[in-house]
């Protein structure tokens, strides 16, 4: 069950990253932007975000599966990284960190650091939801 949840989180984060970069760099966030706004920036930012998703889920989340105690602590660390990288939202950088925080938090809820793990899940979810909301607001507004 844990692997399915991790895969679901990774897929959602990857899709959110691609969708937000399409809004930012293809459709544009200004009302008078011509389509496509900056396709090169779209491809670069999407490649960075998807690479981060792969690296974090392969080399951080997957190894933590066997140690819920460490996963709970790491969930909070990656949640903080997601918040700290919010100024890089135009490159979708916070989304992979937020996803890693949530996935680590789900694993860590079976360990001794349940509160830290839960905080990681909450922070990760908030960063994804608020970041996605900012792009949706820019698209419709």
Q: Model pTM? A: 0.93
- In the block, tokens 């507004």 appear at 141
pLDDT at 37: 81
- In the block, tokens 């360990």 appear at 111
Tell me how many helices (H) and strands (E) the chain has.
6, 0
Q: Render each residue's pLDDT in the chain as its tens digit; 141 residues.
A: 578 999 999 999 999 999 999 988 888 776 666 778 889 999 999 999 999 999 999 999 999 988 999 999 999 999 999 999 999 999 999 999 999 999 999 999 988 989 999 999 999 999 999 999 998 888 786
Number of structural domains the chain divides into: 1
Using a 10 angstrom Cβ sphere, with 0-12 exposed, 13-18 middle and 19 or more buried, the burial of residue 3 is: exposed
Whether 103 and 57 have beta carbons less than 8 Å apart is answered as yes
Structural domain span for residue 52: 2-140
Q: Transcribe 8-74 into DSSP letters.
A: HHHHHHHHHHHHHHHIIIII-SSTTPPSSS-HHHHHHHHHHHHHHHHHHIIIIIHHHTT-HHHHHHH
- In the block, tokens 């937000």 appear at 20
């Amino acid at each position: 069950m844990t692997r399915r949840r991790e895969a679901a989180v990774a897929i959602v984060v990857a899709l959110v990253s691609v969708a937000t970069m399409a809004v930012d760099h293809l459709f544009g966030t200004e009302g008078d932007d011509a389509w496509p706004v900056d396709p090169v920036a779209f491809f670069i930012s999407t490649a960075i975000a998807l690479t981060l998703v792969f690296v974090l889920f392969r080399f951080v989340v997957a190894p933590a599966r066997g140690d819920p105690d460490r996963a709970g602590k790491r969930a909070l660390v990656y949640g903080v990284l997601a918040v700290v990288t919010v100024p890089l939202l135009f490159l979708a950088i916070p989304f992979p960190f937020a996803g890693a925080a949530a996935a680590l938090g789900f694993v860590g809820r079976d360990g001794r650091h349940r509160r830290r793990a839960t905080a990681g899940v909450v922070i990760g979810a908030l960063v994804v939801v608020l970041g996605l909301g900012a792009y949706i607001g820019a698209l419709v507004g």
